[in-house]
A and B are shown apart, each in its own frame.
Chain A
Amino acid sequence: MSHLLEVKDLEVKFALRSGDLTAINGVSFTLDKGEKLGLVGESGAGKSVTGFAIINLLSKPGFISGGKILFNGEDISSMNDSKMRNIRGDRISMIFQDPMMTLNPVFTIGTQMIETLKAHRQISKAHAKEIALEKLKKVYIPSPEKRLSQYSHEFSGGMRQRIIIAISLLTDPAIIIADEPTTALDVTIQAEIMDLLRELCDSEQMGLILITHDLAVVSEVTEKIAVMYAGRIIESGATNDIVNDPRHPYTAGLIRALPGGVLKPGEKLHQIPGMMPTLTDIPLGCAFNPRCLIKNGICESELPELLDNGHKRMIACHMRN
């Protein structure tokens, strides 16, 4: 059976003066209609780069150097830009991290919604406006008619992110890629936005790729998870399985670091010691080995493959496979 989206051995490089730097290496995953996938990992793991690669919108000097991105069976990774624009913003929408920076400050919300529809549909302005109002209602924006003529600086961060979600709904996309959609928001608002996203994906049967560094967030929203480390997926599987029984020591470390349960006063969260390596000095062998508590000699010399453990779980770890 073919998937809605299938990313196969994706490789992304940045062409720097000192040579090509590989940011994404052999990343593969699939997404089906209405399915919700979480891409998790610390900052710098390559989550955003993966998201932008899917819609072929890598910032310079990044480029897709290998692999395939099949959308409805068609490889979109090497599509020319004018064909890609029929998919980008239409079949696949993206939500950015910082709603304060995402909307153009000098155009009204209405203009920015209507232009999106006009870019993808032969549609009258009046009809486009109708659709815009309908979508604003879907994200619970009060008195939407009034909002259309307002500018982004007249809204709070949470409201802006709702509006951006409404924009991404305009064309009834098959997939939404949300890159840390709540990271820039107040904690109280984060949960609201997440609930809204989950609710919309369920009711509209949209696929969701939720990019976040926060395992707690994905575990509440998505049904499957891929954990990324230094440009590779190191563990993937069903959300419940992974959260309850993480196999890779990095995933286990992330879960231990969650502020779940009751902390006694003075008790510290279990942070994973050390930092994710930068792309220029990824250690030999398993990239996680300098921070790993259970490593062995082989971990410092050989790259672990991402292998199926037979229980619908993929793990890249010498010690666990």
Chain B
Amino acid sequence: MFAFIIRRIAQAIFVMLVISLIGFAIKNKIGDPVRDMVGERVTPQERAKIRQKLGLNDPFITQYIRFVDHAVHGDLGLSFFYKKPALDVIVEKAPATMEMVIGAGLLIILISLPLGIYTSLKPRTFFSRFVMGFSTLGVSVPVFLTAIMLIYIFGVQLHWLPSYGRGKTVDVFGNGWWMSGFFTADGLKHLILPCISLASIELPLFIRLIRSEMMEVLETDYIKYAWAKGLSPMRIWLVHAFKNTLLPVITVFGVQIGIMFAFTILTETVFQWQGMGYMFLEAVERSDTSLLIAYLVVVGSVFVIVNTVVDIIYGFINPTIRIAGR
């Protein structure tokens, strides 16, 4: 198990290095750190001097190593627009995005598990057919359409739910960093539509995945044997079959959570949600290269960390890996 964890972490570090290399290459090509620092009203001579001082004339590899070194120490450059370290800007925006992703992730788990299991056990009922039909349809509807439809129905027509912003937030740690919408009724109300929109992208996938994995497991000899032992249907379905179903699903979930971060760019824009995704689009408009690169590196890290953690959890649940890597 220990060797397995080490191996996974080494892989994660490698992936991070690749991401940082891509990020750095982009920055090196189109970024302008001098502008980030002193703006555009500087004479060409002064610029050249600053470039020399910043080491921008050094070989690519030297600069890359310096970039990684700085990144490891939490320095991802300065944001041209905010006049602050890019990482600070992202850290400020991160909680809003995290809350939307967590909310959507929870929605996916709470909805796809029961529906996936039910439709695998009773595939012929009207309800199962309805769910499967709906999830086929769901895959093909683009997320901004879902979001706009939700806003129109629940926000504009029915006035049930707010459709932009985060609403009332509270300071979780008392230092102003994590302003959370999880702890107020208003904040939760504001989370509903964005989370549903974001979840709607992955939900059909998960219902189908859980259903097909479960159906496959139900056909195995060990499930038939569990019946032959006289176990109750609930124990066979929810303990024996469920645990075997969950193993492959966990891995996919890890990957998809990471992908959801990318989709927040769309949902945050539609819902004017002041998170990293919203910030990213603004940064594109303002050509705030350092901030863009910092976003890439941070989201990349989150993706890699989530995947690594999920893989390690998988290793703990799956005895085959646990023993083999001992």
A residues contacting B by CB (< 8 A) are 55, 57, 59, 85-90, 93-94, 96, 98, 101-108, 115-116, 119-120, 151, 153-154, 167
CA distance A120 to B229 in the complex (A): 9
Within the complex, the shortest CB–CB distance from B231 to chain A, in Å, comes to 5
A115-B235, A151-B320, A154-B323 given as contacts; is B230 within 8 A of A102 (CB)?
A: no
**Does the CB pair B225–A96 fall under 8 Å?**
yes
Q: How many residues of B contact A (CB 8 A)?
A: 23
Given A57-B227, A106-B243, A106-B319, 15 further pairs, Cβ under 8 A: A88-B228, A88-B230, A93-B228, A93-B229, A101-B220, A101-B222, A102-B221, A103-B222, A104-B222, A104-B244, A108-B319, A115-B229, A119-B229, A119-B235, A153-B320
**Does the CB pair B221–A116 fall under 8 Å?**
no
Within the complex, the shortest CB–CB distance from A92 to chain B, in Å, comes to 9
| Residue numbers in A under 8 Å from B226 (CB-CB) | 104
Which residue in B228, B317, B320 is a CB contact (below 8 Å) of A94?
B228
**Does the CB pair A153–B323 fall under 8 Å?**
yes
CA distance A122 to B229 in the complex (A): 16
A153-B320, A154-B323 given as contacts; is B232 within 8 A of A103 (CB)?
A: no
Q: Which residue of A lies closest to B231 (CB)?
A: A119
Interface residues of B in 266-319 (CB under 8 A from A): 317-319
Chain B 219-254 near chain A by CB (<8 Å), digits 1 or 0 = 011111111111110010000100110010000000
Which residue in B221, B230, B319, B323 is a CB contact (below 8 Å) of A119?
B230
Residue of B222, B228, B235, B317 contacting most chain A CB atoms (<10 Å): B228
**Does the CB pair A89–B231 fall under 8 Å?**
yes
| Residue numbers in A under 8 Å from B323 (CB-CB) | 151, 153-154
| Residue numbers in A under 8 Å from B221 (CB-CB) | 96, 98, 101-102
Q: Which residue of B lies closest to A90 (CB)?
A: B230
CA distance A39 to B18 in the complex (A): 63
CA distance A119 to B320 in the complex (A): 27
**Does the CB pair B222–A85 fall under 8 Å?**
no
**Does the CB pair B240–A107 fall under 8 Å?**
yes
Which residue in A105, A120, A153 is a CB contact (below 8 Å) of B230?
A120
B residues contacting A by CB (< 8 A) are 220-232, 235, 240, 243-244, 247, 317-320, 323
Instruction: Give 4 nearest A-B pairs by CB, closest first.
Output: A89-B230, A101-B221, A89-B229, A151-B319
CA distance A181 to B120 in the complex (A): 31
Within the complex, the shortest CB–CB distance from B32 to chain A, in Å, comes to 55
Within the complex, the shortest CB–CB distance from A195 to chain B, in Å, comes to 23
| Residue numbers in A under 8 Å from B247 (CB-CB) | 106
Residue of B222, B223, B320 contacting most chain A CB atoms (<10 Å): B222
Which residue in B227, B317, B319 is a CB contact (below 8 Å) of A153?
B319
CA distance A88 to B122 in the complex (A): 23
CA distance A94 to B221 in the complex (A): 12
CA distance A153 to B318 in the complex (A): 12
| Residue numbers in A under 8 Å from B240 (CB-CB) | 104, 107
Q: Which residue of B lies closest to A88 (CB)?
A: B230
**Does the CB pair A85–B232 fall under 8 Å?**
yes
CA distance A235 to B228 in the complex (A): 29
CA distance A206 to B247 in the complex (A): 39
Q: Which residue of A lies closest to B246 (CB)?
A: A106
Within the complex, the shortest CB–CB distance from A147 to chain B, in Å, comes to 14
| Residue numbers in A under 8 Å from B229 (CB-CB) | 88-89, 93, 115-116, 119, 167
Residue of A55, A87, A106, A153 contacting most chain B CB atoms (<10 Å): A106
Q: Which residue of A lies closest to B244 (CB)?
A: A106
| Residue numbers in B under 8 Å from A101 (CB-CB) | 220-222
**Does the CB pair B228–A116 fall under 8 Å?**
no
CA distance A115 to B138 in the complex (A): 40
| Residue numbers in B under 8 Å from A153 (CB-CB) | 319-320, 323
| Residue numbers in B under 8 Å from A94 (CB-CB) | 225, 228
Within the complex, the shortest CB–CB distance from A313 to chain B, in Å, comes to 33
CA distance A120 to B232 in the complex (A): 10
CA distance A170 to B169 in the complex (A): 59
Which residue in A59, A93, A96, A116 is a CB contact (below 8 Å) of B231?
A116
| Residue numbers in A under 8 Å from B235 (CB-CB) | 115, 119
A101-B222, A103-B222, A119-B235 given as contacts; is B228 within 8 A of A55 (CB)?
A: yes
Within the complex, the shortest CB–CB distance from A238 to chain B, in Å, comes to 29
CA distance A153 to B323 in the complex (A): 9
| Residue numbers in B under 8 Å from A115 (CB-CB) | 229, 231, 235
Q: Which residue of B lies closest to A85 (CB)?
A: B230
**Does the CB pair A102–B225 fall under 8 Å?**
yes
**Does the CB pair A105–B228 fall under 8 Å?**
no
Q: Which residue of B lies closest to A102 (CB)?
A: B225
| Residue numbers in B under 8 Å from A89 (CB-CB) | 228-231
CA distance A55 to B225 in the complex (A): 12
| Residue numbers in A under 8 Å from B220 (CB-CB) | 101
**Does the CB pair A105–B231 fall under 8 Å?**
no
| Residue numbers in B under 8 Å from A154 (CB-CB) | 323
**Does the CB pair A105–B222 fall under 8 Å?**
yes
| Residue numbers in B under 8 Å from A57 (CB-CB) | 224, 227-228
| Residue numbers in A under 8 Å from B222 (CB-CB) | 101-105
Within the complex, the shortest CB–CB distance from A80 to chain B, in Å, comes to 13
Within the complex, the shortest CB–CB distance from A66 to chain B, in Å, comes to 23
**Does the CB pair A59–B224 fall under 8 Å?**
yes
Q: Which residue of A lies closest to B221 (CB)?
A: A101
| Residue numbers in A under 8 Å from B227 (CB-CB) | 57, 88
CA distance A108 to B232 in the complex (A): 19
| Residue numbers in B under 8 Å from A119 (CB-CB) | 229-232, 235
| Residue numbers in A under 8 Å from B243 (CB-CB) | 106-107
CA distance A85 to B231 in the complex (A): 7
CA distance A94 to B230 in the complex (A): 10
CA distance A286 to B195 in the complex (A): 68
CA distance A101 to B228 in the complex (A): 14
| Residue numbers in B under 8 Å from A93 (CB-CB) | 228-229
